[in-house]
Chains A and B, each alone.
Chain A
Amino acid sequence: MIKKTYDAIIIGGGAAGLSAAWNVAKAGFSTAIIERENCLGGILNQCIHTGFGLHRFGKELSGPEYAEMDIDLVAANKVDSFINTTVFEIRSNGILKSVFASSAEGVTEFETRAVILSMGCRERNRGNLGIPGTRPSGIMTAGLAQRLLNIEGYLPGRKAVIIGSGDIGLIMARRLTWSGAIVMGVIEILPYPSGLARNIAQCLDDFEIPLYLGHTVSAINGKERVESVDVSPFKDGVPSLSGTFKIDCDTVLISAGLIPENELSVKAGVKLSNATGGPYVDSSMMTNVPGIFACGNVLHVHDLVDYVSEESENCGSAVVSYLSSDECSCTQGNISAGSNIKYIVPSKYRTGIPQKFYMRSLMPFENAMLTVKCADKILFERKLKYVRPPEMQSFTLTPEMTDGLNENSPEINVSLTEV
């Protein structure tokens, strides 16, 4: 077994891992990224459409372009990267961690003081959704279709129905159309689309692809290959079979959400939140296991890569403080989700430093008020033009806002109300 030692080990070389890595390395710590695929960049490599980097670079880049920016920074900051290498176990020996990874060269034990989890997420599939019907070929997640088409160049099929109106599904509707396939419709169980309005406009409306809101696929039909789907209105929590109609297709793509990929984390003793599917992290982005940090989609599912990078840079800085042992020793307090908030990450705050929080709403509001309170005291309020569950919201808690709080760091509550 090969043995290597680094100050920090980053598991996963997607947007999150890349940003975290160069931010740790730039402070002079020896850093390595371990990536299971044959190149760095993660999911961005298959997202060839534009729309990345508007916040961070002020322009609309494609996924691979965005990734290359960080890959260049990783190289410039002398981060070592190990590709075609999969981490399969993390062990804690007190303050030291051992990260075990396998590749064609054998198993390597990476000894390190800090581990950053940035393994990304996986897609919800047909089984998770419990879609009834037969099991022919031609049913796949939108991400797999994206990979097949954008990297391997294979058309998933000729005539597709897309289940779920998430952005990945919408983007795939346009990609398929532009590649010569026909998209027969997008089926969304909720009464509103879960992707961005601009993607509805430019990926569906441009091609007159119908969007069936408040509908679900009540059966997939076909023997060897998909032949059709049964679409039913979704009423009172069940498909109403009397309103069922058929759509002919040879392919069904499923774009119904992502789940953080935390099998490795759980095995290492990391506790997960039910609301995010990712680890609980404190104000230093550290999990309940000292020395194990998390950022990006493995922590909670992001819709914008710009936020992934921002969060991961913060995570990188927190790891630098941890490695230099100059963390602020003040106590941390809980920050909790109130009205119309599904979750808030991180779940702890600390006074004395500015800190960014990310959250998601439970339902859409036009004109909302974001309120951050401690007991009855309003620490901060902000008007928002709108909130929508598919779009993450964020705010910064500054030292001034928490100035008047007592030393025990009492719980802070965040809520959204319609105004």
Chain B
Amino acid sequence: MNSMDYDVVVVGSGVVGASIARLLSSYELKAAVIEKFPDACFGVSKANSGIIHGAFHHATTTLKARLELKGNMMYDQLHKELGFPFKRTGIIVAAFSSEEMKTVRLLYKQGVANGAPGIEICGSERLLNLEPGLNPDIAGGLYAPFAGVVEPYRFVFSLMESAQLNGLDFIRDFEVVRSSYDGKLHQVFSSDGRAVAASFVINAAGLYADKISEIFNGEKFKIHPRKGEEFLLDRNSPARPNNVIFPVPAKESKGMLVIPTVEGTTMIGPTSEKIDDKEDSSTTYSNMERIFLQASRMVSGISRRDVITSFSGLRPVLENEDFLIEKSQMAPAFIQVAGIQSPGLTAAPAIAEYVLEILSKDCGLKLEKKKSFIPEISRTEKIYGISPEKLDELIEKNPAYGNIVCRCEQISEAEIVDAIRKGHTTIDGIKFYTRSGMGRCQGGFCTYKILKIISRETGIPIDHITRRGNGSFITGERISGELK
């Protein structure tokens, strides 16, 4: 074995790939994650509802129901070690008719069967007590106190940071296009001609898991994208519930929700729409109308005036609607982690354990705990909401804390520089890492400041800086004598 060869390579750095990566890094292995984008979490994992689900939506017989509950339970420990924003807010499913209450009873039974702790079936009085902002016409509903919300990109970044700290390699801008296998090693090739060798490959490529499977001569399946559009409301919106508010679910999706995000904003959505194009991240006018109508039915104070941005994400869905996690029957030394739709974010920590079990049991890889494993990562101080005294102390240690770059979310130059030094050198990467440009002005004020800081720290000329790689340049060229 060449010293550059890996024991395990994970394709994809979404929440699934990153969870697997961190777990791999706790064993005596040589492992790497390869990602086509310049940063982690630029796929499905960046555009979702950020909910740690309550384990009552899916039938006990499914793999996703099992991994959902287990994953949920693992979040406290991870949060303690990695410090990403996470809060157990609770979920309320709001029913507005006796017909809907029938479904709530079914959900309750399903939750109990799945082992969901503390789950309650509630009348209107109990619900209005828990959540005074609910529409008073409510008939009753379900309460799952142990569900929560998480900042998905911070979670993924912290997993990757931890994995790298413990020796895992993160290979960016590496789009897998081809592979070969010599009976011992996979050779994995990128679109720009680089190669990586690995004994085992894990397919965690989200929407493109079907394509990766094909590249490695694995099972033939098709990932169907199912689109969800979401709207984000200002921190000052009066519509900010304490719990995540769900409607009674429809057949294929959990319905459109009102979500108090960990960051203090309110999010409404998502829609659920089968589409063909895996790159279609568009939002539409008619869906906006639908979301606002549905959300306003449940919670008062939702106003179009408070919208700060909207986005859409695509759920990677398999025909049978369940997760597919197994050692490939067709491709050698290859593990499929496909169809990871909702509750994929919730289940990810449990998916990682499941995958490592497959590696050791089905693939015979020897797993030995790394003695030097460091579970914690360093925390960067943030200036948001801190006292003048505390800020003064921070500035004394590092004057860059005194320069407030993003005014809406109060992010200092020190935090931006920290993000850049941790490898986030695109505008989106810095935005997802620090929240700069995520507030109400959406980067109107801070974008040029961040461009200048990136350029100063990395030497990349401003007109070469991208939003998220692949030619997504922010500005055109600089004025010079040669202008037409």
Contacts and interface: CB of A to CB of B under 8 A. Distances in A.
Interface stretch (A104-112, A205-213, A308-316, A340-348): A104-112
A238 B289 CA distance: 11
B444 A125 contact: yes
Given A137-B467, A224-B470, A128 B279 contact: no
A86 interface: yes
B392 A104 contact: no
B483 interface: yes
A270 to B, nearest CB: 14
A395 interface: no
Interface in B294-342: 304, 307-311
B403 A154 contact: no
B455 to A, nearest CB: 10
B403 A137 contact: no
Contact of B232 (A106, A109, A127, A141): A127
B298 to A, nearest CB: 20
B284 A225 contact: no
Contact of A88 (B410, B441, B463): B410
Nearest to A122: B441
A130 B311 CA distance: 10
Nearest to A127: B309
A130 B309 CA distance: 7
A300 interface: no
A98 to B, nearest CB: 9
B403 A109 contact: no
21 contacts: A84-B403, A88-B410, A102-B404, A104-B399, A105-B399, A107-B395, A122-B441, A127-B442, A132-B285, A132-B310, A137-B427, A138-B474, A144-B448, A152-B452, A152-B478, A155-B478, A158-B476, A224-B467, A225-B473, A263-B408, A266-B236
A68 interface: no
Interface string A122-158: 1101111010111111101101100111001111111
The 8 A-B pairs at the shortest CB distance, nearest first, are namely A127-B309, A137-B467, A155-B476, A104-B399, A107-B392, A224-B472, A154-B475, A137-B472
A155 B477 CA distance: 6
A137 B401 CA distance: 28
Given A130-B307, A137-B474, A105 B281 contact: no
B307 A128 contact: yes
Nearest to A103: B402
A389 interface: no
Contact of B442 (A88, A125, A263): A125
A223 interface: yes
Instruction: Give the dominant DSSP class at A's interface.
Output: mixed
Interface string B444-484: 11011000100000000011001110111111111100011
A224 B478 CA distance: 20
Nearest to A129: B307
Contacts of A136: 467, 472
Contact of B388 (A105, A109, A225): A109
Given A104-B395, A104-B400, A137-B467, A126 B283 contact: no
B167 to A, nearest CB: 33
A263 to B, nearest CB: 7
A148 B473 CA distance: 14
Contacts of A238: 285
A1 interface: yes
Interface string B392-426: 10011001111110011010000000000000000
B391 interface: yes
A179 B483 contact: yes
B479 A179 contact: yes
A323 interface: no
Contacts of A214: none
A133 B283 contact: yes
Contacts of A138: 473-474
A148 B284 CA distance: 30
B99 interface: no
Contacts of A126: 309, 442
B276 interface: no
B288 interface: yes
Contact of A133 (B282, B383, B478): B282
B402 A102 contact: yes
A130 B401 CA distance: 34
A408 B452 CA distance: 57
A155 B479 contact: yes
Q: Which of B309, B447, B474, B483 has the most CB of A within 10 A?
A: B474
Q: Which of B285, B310, B395 has the most CB of A within 10 A?
A: B285
Contact of B395 (A106, A143, A147): A106
B282 A86 contact: no
